[in-house]
Copies of this chain bind each other. A is one copy, B any other.
C-alpha cells in the first residue's frame, strides 16, 4: 500500500490548501460572483425569505410545553432542544453560586462550508438564510447548518441541501473537521461539528447559495449583522498560512497553561428543573431574572415562506443589553500576539476555554465589583488609545437567540500597554491559535468569531 507523502504530518494541515486559501483571501473583487452580483442576489434572497416573527405567550406554543415534573420547556417529540435549569458552583469570581435557565441540546450539529475551485481560485459556498431570532432576517450562513434532527428528518420537511457532500466527504477532500463549543453561558455542553470540505466542479450554487472568494467573505464580515455566528465559527477553523515562527510562549507552555486552568478550577454544575429557579421569575410571556438582567426565555410564532416547514412556534433566549466582545492584540518584538483569557462558563465541558480579552455585557456586571466589570471599563479607554483593526455589531445563532447584539472589536494596543499578562491570560500568536483550532474546545465561540474577524478585517496586520 503506497503511502501518501505527508511532509507536514505533525502539523495536521495541508500547505497546498493553505496557500490556495491565502490566494482566495487576496481576491475581493470577485471571480465567480462580482460584488454587484452578490449585492443583487443578497437583496433578492432577503426579500424572498420573509419571516414574520411575533412574540407569543408560552401558552400559545404549539408542540412545546412545560413538563409536569421538572417545569422544563420541552418539545412533544423529546427532540430539538429543551430549556432546563442549571445550578453552578465555581471557585473563582465575585459570584460563586447561581441558578439559571439553560438550553440543553445534547446532539452534535453540523456546520459546514463547501469550497470549490473556480477559474483557479478557491470559492466558499455561502448561504443566505433567515432565522427567526436574527435582528435583520437573512444573514450570510454556512453551506450547511443542520441539527442531527434536521438531516434525519424529524422536521418532516425538505432535506437540507448539500448535507450529503459532508456526510460522505472523501477523507482527502476534508480541509478542517473539528468539534467546537457554543455559548457556555446559555448552552449546556453543546458542540457543533465545524467542517470545511472541497467539492468538485459538479457542485453548483442553488437559489439561496452563492460562490464567494475568502476575500469577499472577509468584506462581508465587516458589515453589521451580515455574517452569522455559524459561518464565523467555521471560518475560524480554516487552516491559515503563516511563516512566523516566533512567539512569546512555546506551544508546550500554552498547552500546559490551558491544562493547568482546566485541572485546578472547580466548576460543579447540576442540571435541575426549570420550575421555581432561585432568582428567576416566570410570567405568561417570559422567564426573567429578578433584576431584569442577563436574558429572558421567551416564545415566538414564526411564519416563513422559505423554510423546510412553513410556520412554527418555538422558545428563544433573549439576551439583554449589547455585549462587548473584544480582543486586544499587540506586537511583541514585531510579532502580533492576541491576549486570550481562560474563562469559566457553566456550559463548557472542560471548566474553562480561551475567551477574548474582554467579554461581557456592562449592564450585567454594573452591580458587581469583580474584575470582569473592570475589564469592560478599561477596554473603553484602550479602544480610544489603540488602533481599531475590526469593529462591527453582530448577532449570535438566530435559531436560539432573539435579537442578540454584541459589538465585536479588535484593537491593536501600543507600547504603552503592559507586556505583562493579567492573571489568567496569555499572549498567543495567530499561528498558535490556528494550531489550537485544529483541536476541540480550546477557544470559545466568541474568541473564534474574533479570530475570523481579525484575519478578515486586518489582513495587513496579520500577514
Contacts and interface: CB of A to CB of B under 8 A. Distances in A.
A252 B429 CA distance: 21
Interface string A236-275: 0000000001111111111111011011000010000000
A123 B174 CA distance: 42
A149 B219 CA distance: 53
A255 B6 contact: no
A387 interface: no
Contacts of A215: none
A339 interface: no
A451 interface: no
A86 to B, nearest CB: 16
Give the 6 A-B CB pairs with smallest separation, nearest first: A12-B251, A177-B256, A1-B419, A171-B253, A174-B256, A193-B263
Contacts of A247: 3-4, 6, 9
Contact of A251 (B6, B262, B432, B440): B6
A11 interface: yes
State the oligomeric state as a number of copies: 2
B171 A259 contact: no
Given A11-B10, A259-B193, A262-B179, A5 B246 contact: yes
Interface residues of A, number: 59
A178 interface: yes
Nearest to A333: B3
Interface string A170-193: 011011111100000000000001
Interface in A147-167: none
Given A247-B4, A257-B171, A12 B435 contact: yes
A77 to B, nearest CB: 15
Given A3-B332, A179-B262, A332-B1, A11 B9 contact: no
B9 A431 contact: yes
Given A171-B256, A177-B252, 15 more contacts: A1-B248, A1-B419, A3-B247, A4-B250, A7-B245, A9-B250, A9-B429, A10-B435, A12-B250, A12-B251, A12-B435, A13-B252, A14-B250, A174-B252, A193-B263
A257 B195 CA distance: 12
A110 interface: yes
B263 A333 contact: no
A179 B257 contact: no
A233 interface: no
Contacts of A429: 9
Given A252-B175, A263-B179, A431 B10 contact: yes
